[in-house]
Amino acid sequence: MGKNIKRVLILGLDALEYELVEKWDLKNLKQEEYGKTILPLSKEDGYFYPGPATVIIWPCFITGMPPKKIGIQTVKIYPLNFLYKFYLRYIYPKGESEKRRDIRDKSTYRKMMDKISNVISSLHLSREPTRRDIKVPTMFEAIPNSIHRHIPVYDNDAFSNKGMIVQAIENDIYKPIFEAGAMREFNERSNEVMKYIEKNDWTLFMEYFFVLDGIQHVFYNNPRKIAKFYVLFDEFVGKVRQKIDDDTLLLIVSDHGQKRGLHTNYGFYSVNKPLGLKNPRLIDFRWLIEDLIG
């Protein structure tokens, strides 16, 4: 198998939910082999946040390492970060992240926490993680001729209209504006993928899409709206598959799924060539890719 693969194209689709892909039978997203992935969420992995977080999971994927090895264990970097980890491990109510709370109540809590976080950030007492916080090499350094676009933490332009999520959840007037922004991101980044496929001067190329995460948060109670974007991605992947060469591995992967606006504790993967995987660990893909392309 490895001898037949010269390039790897990765589409990172944030919050792509396995059960919705199955429910709507989205054949292009499913590809020849697909399934759930095991996320590095245990305390042994050094994970100290309630539920899968984008800024922790994607660095795990691109490094092939658990959070404690990377150096990113929470969604904010604090001077006294050990106190925050102590709170999450011993004080945060057990099972709280698993409760089926109403998303509007959750958004109010999130909005309050965002305000507190912004004040702390303005005092330079906290910040979001950046590439310099990743303490180990990524697949992009290890594989020559690698291209990465909009990767969370690694790049600084991953999120388009993330700041409007809470507004759009709380006030319907913002929903069309948010949806238009999501559509704009989808069009821009899908066109970018097609451009790089045409250039064909890379060994590894990864493009990240935030679209589905935001849409599923905002339209958590509108399955038809969510289905619209899932179908868009399914059709896009169909076009990608027609464009790539037979010696290109197409990997579709998510950092978690999402149900009723809440993250699920597993991810999704699919590949256009059978690899014989079964519930693989998300952090194993980096090493698998390096092995396949030598």
The span from the CA of 50 to the CA of 140, in Å, is 29
Counting DSSP H helices and E strands in the chain, the numbers are: 12, 8
136-192 confidence digits (pLDDT tens): 999 999 999 999 999 999 999 999 888 899 889 989 999 999 999 999 999 999 999
pLDDT number for residue 100: 41
pLDDT band at 201 (very low <50, low <70, confident <90, very high): very high
**Considering the entire predicted model, what is its pTM?**
0.87
* Residue 226 · residue 21 · CB < 8 Å: no
> How confident is the model at residue 181, as a pLDDT?
96
3-state helix, strand, coil in the chain (%, to 5): 50, 15, 35
Rounded CA-CA distance 180/237 in Å is 21
The per-residue DSSP string of 102-152 comes to -HHHHHHHHHHHHHHHHHHHHTTS-B---GGG--S--HHHHSSSEEEES-T
Lowest mean pLDDT among 118-127, 153-162, 212-221, 233-242: 118-127
Mean pLDDT of the chain: 88
Domain with 15, as residue range(s), is 2-292
DSSP 273: S
51: domain CATH number?
Answer: 3.40.720.10
Which pLDDT does position 274 carry in this prediction? 94
> How many domains is the chain partitioned into structurally?
1
